[in-house]
Chain A
Amino acid sequence: MQYLVSVIDDGQAEATGRTDSASAAEAAAIDEFNDRLQADGHWVFAAGLAAPSSATVVDNRGDAPLLTDGPFLESKEYVAGLWIMEAADLDAVLALAADGSKACNRKLEVRALLREE
């Protein structure tokens, strides 16, 4: 199965005076964790995200695309990055996420991708 593992920032970036990405120590730990994901066949994709304030919401359900500056949800907590991981089942991905949370020093949300059969 594949899982979306979202990195939830609840104040870490702000506390260190940055608006995006991880500190040098966090980045090093994340690199090491990513190497392991790749070596063990769990890595599908990973990326960090620019600050939520840089987001644009597009809604083209009406006559013309409506653009709104900022994220769709204003919140102190926001998604700062993501992984797509390949794992046998929830137990396997939760064990990986536990290590990933340590590495990036943030909490993670684990959500399965819908399966196509």
Chain B
Amino acid sequence: MTDDVITRAHRDEWARVVASLSRRFGSLDIAEEAAAEAFAIAVERWPTDGAPPNPGAWLTTTANRKAIDRIRRESKRDEKHREARLMVDDSAPHSAGVVDDDRLRLIFTCCHPALSMDARVALTLRMVGGLTVPEIARAFLVQDSAMGRRITRAKAKIADAGIPFRVPVTDDLPARISGVLAVLYLVFNEGYLASSPDSAPLRHELTAEAIRLTRLMRTLLPADGETTGLLALMLLTEARAPARISSEGELVTLDKQDRRLWDPVLIAEGHRLVRLRLASGVAPGRYQLLAAINAVHTSAGDVRATDWSQIVALYDHLAAVDPSPVVELNRAIAVAELDGASVGLAIVDRLESSLRDYHAFHATRADLLRRSGRVEEARAAYDAAMRLSGNSAQRAALARRRDRLD
């Protein structure tokens, strides 16, 4: 009973406590340590004393007291030593549609473009998500000590280099939001298709955490279309997870999935968000288009009922917004469904110079070669895809498709 209260308080209040202490004391380090101490005291006391009526307020007060204790201790120990202070900008955000919330400042600080991508991911999961260092270390298959150093170094850079604790100005906001979304999408994708052979192919704890943080981001930036788009994309992708790994541990491609296993609640929410963005009349960005494509897929009860012409149209639009070879590869798959395998294959073959080291390029090419009856070339392409894939379930599925060639 109390355990539930503590778990819920951790999930709901961690980021709020860390964010408000970061602002008050001007140090992510003090904020993180004091928040962790406050939760440790809750774990110790709540089961015997009972949970306080307002857990959030209790945690904030307790963490504040711990932070003040530490600052007193340190200033006594070494008068000359002064910790570099986080640059706190207390003015309200200048951007319309932005909620004034310390958690938003915290997210933008953790995802600052002057930090490496690895540092942004680790810091966001620790400071905003409240995952422990060992949990983050396990998720990215590095030693606890190495992950601890990565986070410590990132906090030190924020303090020493003067990275401000604030919501970016309007001019910078779209680029900075897309930076945050890229971090969240990376966390999601690492959970959805683990890149290492040593981890489970699907890791629900990471996809769930990415969804939770994206929901928080949407609460804080309700007017931002791409934030809503990314949330919809994650929900519609996560909805298919139960059908994605076969009982033999192979990755099941979209066309072969048992659609009765898809999660109807997640799909309904994803569709609602996509419709909301369509109704806004604002030109969609990359995540909204990807969400719309996934909405078309999840609207079809059977793969044969898929509206491929709509999917091709959405990919055309996406290729205009984001002209990358990976988008072109996915567009080719849709074109193959609409106009035939050889038409799709012609598009794929043009991408060889840029995608030759990407497993999905060879896997796609292999499938289209097989469907065009070019068996030997298909076999070689499956082999190339297997060499490049780091995901065990995906390799197993590719091996099976290769071995079925006659």
Contact = CB atoms under 8 A, between A and B. Distances in A.
Interface of A: 1, 3, 87-91, 93-94, 110-112, 114-115, 117
A115 to B, nearest CB: 6
Given A1-B162, A112-B160, A112-B161, A90 B82 contact: no
Interface in B168-207: 168, 172
A93 B112 CA distance: 14
Contacts of B164: 88-91
A88 B82 contact: no
A3 B168 CA distance: 20
Contacts of B112: 90
Nearest to A116: B82
A5 to B, nearest CB: 13
A91 B168 contact: yes
Nearest to A111: B161
Q: Which of A3, A111, A115 neighbours the largest number of chain B CB atoms within 10 Å of its CB?
A: A115
Nearest to A87: B162
Contacts of B168: 91
B162 A112 contact: yes
A39 to B, nearest CB: 20
A111 B168 CA distance: 21
Contacts of A87: 162
Interface residues of B, number: 13
B325 to A, nearest CB: 27
8 contacts: A88-B87, A90-B112, A90-B114, A90-B162, A90-B163, A91-B172, A94-B114, A115-B84
A110 B161 CA distance: 9
A87 B87 CA distance: 12
Given A89-B164, A90-B164, 11 more contacts: A1-B162, A89-B163, A90-B114, A90-B162, A90-B163, A91-B164, A91-B172, A93-B162, A94-B114, A111-B161, A115-B84
A111 B157 CA distance: 10
Interface in B259-281: none
A24 to B, nearest CB: 32
A90 B109 CA distance: 11
Given A88-B87, A89-B87, A117 B82 contact: yes
Nearest to B169: A91
Interface of B: 82, 84, 87, 89, 112, 114, 160-164, 168, 172
Contacts of B82: 117
Contact of A89 (B84, B162, B172): B162
Nearest to A91: B164
A1 B84 CA distance: 11
A16 to B, nearest CB: 31
A117 B80 CA distance: 9
A1 B164 CA distance: 12
Contacts of A117: 82
A22 B114 CA distance: 28
A90 B84 contact: no
Contacts of A114: 160
Nearest to B80: A117
A96 to B, nearest CB: 13
A114 B114 CA distance: 18
Contacts of B172: 91
Nearest to B82: A117
The 3 closest A-B pairs by CB, nearest first: A89-B164, A89-B87, A89-B162
Q: Which of B112, B161, B162, B168 neighbours the largest number of chain A CB atoms within 10 Å of its CB?
A: B162
B106 to A, nearest CB: 16
A111 B87 CA distance: 16
A3 B82 CA distance: 19
A89 B168 CA distance: 12
Nearest to B112: A90
A45 B251 CA distance: 60
Q: Which of B87, B89, B161, B168 neighbours the largest number of chain A CB atoms within 10 Å of its CB?
A: B161
A89 B162 CA distance: 5
A47 to B, nearest CB: 23
A115 B160 CA distance: 9
Contacts of A89: 87, 89, 162-164
A86 B5 CA distance: 48
A87 B161 CA distance: 11
B155 to A, nearest CB: 14
Contacts of B162: 1, 3, 87, 89-90, 93, 112
A90 B84 CA distance: 14
Contacts of A1: 87, 162
Contacts of A115: 84
B108 to A, nearest CB: 10
Contacts of A111: 161
